[in-house]
Amino acid sequence: MSDIHEHTDGCDCGHDHEHEHELQYMTLMLEDNTEVRCIVLGIFEVDEYEGKEYIALVSEDGEESFVYEYIETDENEDGFELVNIDSDEEFETVISAIDEILEDDEEYEDYEYEEEEE
């Protein structure tokens, strides 16, 4: 698993740690043409699949979660592409990495999120 920087006061990362974290949103179009507005949990790498990035999303209502390979590209207006993870082994490894990231991130449960204004 790649190193995850723990943000603390005085860590010199350039972030103000005494602010509420603002959620990032993304709308997915599913295969049945329904749209699901999701909260972006994060984009991350997994050591076992060097050179690849993944994105973890959860629906606004918390009912569904999604994991994709995340590829930055200049070929579309979004600047990225989401690709299904076809290998069961790769999918399980990525899910384990997400679980580990969330378990290791002591600050995860302490964040106060500010709702995005529309």
DSSP 13: S
For the chain, the maximum distance between any two Cα atoms, rounded to a whole number of angstroms, is: 48
Q: Count how many domains the chain has.
A: 1
| 19-33, 41-55, 59-73, 74-88: segment of lowest average pLDDT | 19-33
Domain range for 93:
24-110
pLDDT level of residue 20 (50, 70, 90 thresholds)? low
Evaluate whether residue 7 is within a structural domain: no
pTM for this prediction:
0.69
pLDDT digits (tens, 9 = 90+) for 57-97: 999 999 999 999 999 999 988 899 999 999 999 999 999 99
Asked if residue 82 lies in contact with residue 55, where contact means CB atoms within 8 angstroms, the answer is yes
The amino acid that residue 93 corresponds to is T
